[in-house]
Structure 1
Amino acid sequence: MSTTTTATRARVADTVLDSRVMIRRGLTRSMRDPEAFFTALTLPVALMLLFVYVFGGAMSTGGSYVDYVVPGIILLCAGFGAGTTAVAVADDMTNGIVDRFRSMPIAAGSVVVGHVVASVARNAIATTLVIAVALLIGWRPSAGPLEWFAAIGILAAFVLAISWLAATVGLLARSKDAANAFTMVLAFLPYVSTAFVPADTLPAALRGFAEHQPMTPIIETLRGLWMGTEIGDQAWWALGWCTLILVASTVASARLFRRRTS
């Protein structure tokens, strides 16, 4: 075995160990901020109850409105969770903790990885809660085990991509307030998609945007997997968007982190 190979394996092992420490830090940090964690859990549920019981009677979607709205609420939930990640990363970059990390033998990328994995874990809990409440209020998916497995895969890809995008925004932002504004963008996108109403009910100008933005193919894919509606090529678009966001965010976050810490 060459010296180069040994050194490479050692660096990989160190990065994995450092990432585990940062992941534990991110999860512990979430538990120590119960207000933000509680809001991220309850706000999507409150919005789902609002849409189903207050607006649902006026919505015409060709079936039970709760069956239609659940995928969009889950993506809305992921957006709120990602906003929290952006704020946490921006806080780390402005409060001096990263400078302290740089004085230790810690892999640089592990800081971002810790935030991203903690975000995925928070979103998994929030998504589980949304699904549980949806089942209680009448959501009745017709999916079998294979469809559920595929839906979970799509959700995991989306949450990972949006969490890494949020970390990138946190690196780009110069304050927690600026990073928090990102939450508003993510919260707005599902409203101008097929999350709450069919695209053909929207004005022509909004319809084109709704049909060609990332949220719509992901929502339509989840809806098709869970409820048996037509998916068409939406699944490929959903995977394409998730891959594009993840790759672009990973590359951009690495460059931004080096620039902010150089």
Structure 2
Amino acid sequence: MSAAAYAVSDCWTMTRRELTHWSRQPVQVLVGLVFPVMMLLMFGYLVGGGRGVQGEYVDFLMPGMLTLTMVFGLEGTMTAVTRDLEKGVIDRFRAMPMADGAVLVGRAAADMLQSTVGLLLMTGVGYAIGWRTSGGPGAFLGAMGLLLLLRFAMLWIGIFLALVAGRAELVQAVQILVWPIGFLSNAFATPEAMPGWLGTVVEWNPMSATATAVRELLGNPGGEPGWTLVAVLWPLALLAVFFPLAVRRFGRLGA
């Protein structure tokens, strides 16, 4: 086998390891899937309002909630990484004849699979409460691709921060920072309905770019032409920074 084939095999082995944990922690997986649904129903029916939104609020809200789902829930991956660090599991894997970074790639692959399942669940619930799209199958797949790309970028930010934190108890402090990022976006309201300075901050949030592009692709209120490229460039820029940082940090563990 070639070196690339060995690397793929190692990454798949680590992915299966993470997936095996699902059967042993079903409650944690279920909570991760249900929490975004609860938020969707809460904002859609209890505290929703959609200031500045033209059209049905649920059609504006759904792309925002799908985007928010891609940002939240990173604490599961961060906790898993720090737990393996504390128990010395990663040190044992690094001592084995295994491709560098296979542990991280396996963890990322498992998270992306769970994120895909979460998107499908959220989409089904959205249609059940009246959300409708008009962009066609190609546009729908493109929107899902943008959402998963954002998740992939945020995931490597989380992995890097977990490697820096090193301890599970510090993950909670880092996770608190995700909330301002999530809510300082156009997920729930348009920037035009906010104070000028706040609207500017919201427009520069990578989440807002993805939400706006998804709305445009799906034909929902709040979409604007030209944001798809921005929604691709933001995650790629984040990946260009945090992926090598995470790999480098992993390589220096124990040094």
Q: TM-score, normalised by structure 2?
A: 0.93
- Partners of 2:184 and 2:202 within 8 A in 1: yes
1:21 to 13, 34, 38: 13
- C-alpha separation in 2, matches of 1:226 and 1:245: 25
Q: How does 1:1-262 map to 2 (within 5 A)?
A: 10-57=2-49, 59-227=51-219, 230-262=223-255
The alignment's C-alpha RMSD in Å is 1.7
Q: Contact 2:51/2:190 (CA < 8 Å) preserved in 1?
A: no
Unaligned runs of 5+ in 1: 1-8
After the TM superposition, which segments of 4 or more aligned residues of structure 1 sit over 6 Å from their partners? Answer: none
1:94 Cα deviation from its structure 2 partner: 1.6
Change (3 A) 1:259 1:236: same
Q: How far has the Cα of 1:228 moved from its partner?
A: 5.0
- Aligned-pair distance for 1:60? 4.6
1: CA distance, partners of 2:69 / 2:31? 10
- Following the alignment from structure 2 to structure 1, what is the Cα–Cα distance between the partners of residues 22 and 30? 10
- How far, CA to CA, are the matches of 1:249 and 1:31 in structure 2? 30
1:6-44 CA-partner distances (Å, limit 9, x unpaired)? xxx732222111111001011112332223212211111
Q: Does 68-77 or 119-128 show the bigger shift?
A: 68-77
Q: Equivalents in 2 of 1:76, 1:83: separation in Å? A: 14
Q: CA deviation at 1:155?
A: 1.7
Over the matched positions of the two proteins, sequence identity in percent amounts to 30
Question: Following the alignment from structure 1 to structure 2, what is the Cα–Cα distance between the partners of residues 200 and 241?
Answer: 22
Distance of 1:228 and 1:133 partners within structure 2? 17
One-letter amino acid of the structure 2 residue matched with residue 185 of structure 1: L
Structure 1's 59 and 31: CA in aligned 2 closer, same or farther, altered over 3 A?
farther
CA contact (8 A) 1:199 1:210 kept: yes
Deviates more, 1:218-227 or 1:199-208: 199-208
2-structure distance, mates of 1:29, 1:232: 42
CA separation of 1:244 and 1:31: change in aligned 2, threshold 3 A? farther
One-letter code aligned to 2:98:
I
8 A Cα contact 1:76 1:186, kept in partner:
no
Count of matched residue pairs: 254
Supply the distance in 1 between the matched residues of 2:172 and 2:10 (Cα, whole angstroms): 27
Distance 2:239 2:3 in 1: 23
Superposed CA deviations along residues 30-73 of structure 1, whole A, max 9, x for unmatched, are 33222321221111100110111112357451111110111121
Letter in 2 for 1:161: A
> For residues 180 and 239 of structure 1, what CA distance do their matches in structure 2 show?
29
Distance in 2 separating the partners of 1:98 and 1:58 = 46
Tell me if the contact between 1:72 and 1:190 (Cα under 8 Å) persists in the aligned partners.
no
Q: Compute the displacement of 1:239 (Å).
A: 0.7
Q: Distance in 1 between matches of 2:68 and 2:254?
A: 32
Aligned residues of 1:168 and 1:249 also touching (Cα < 8 A): yes
Letter in 2 for 1:131: T
Higher helix share: 1
Equivalence for 1:4: none
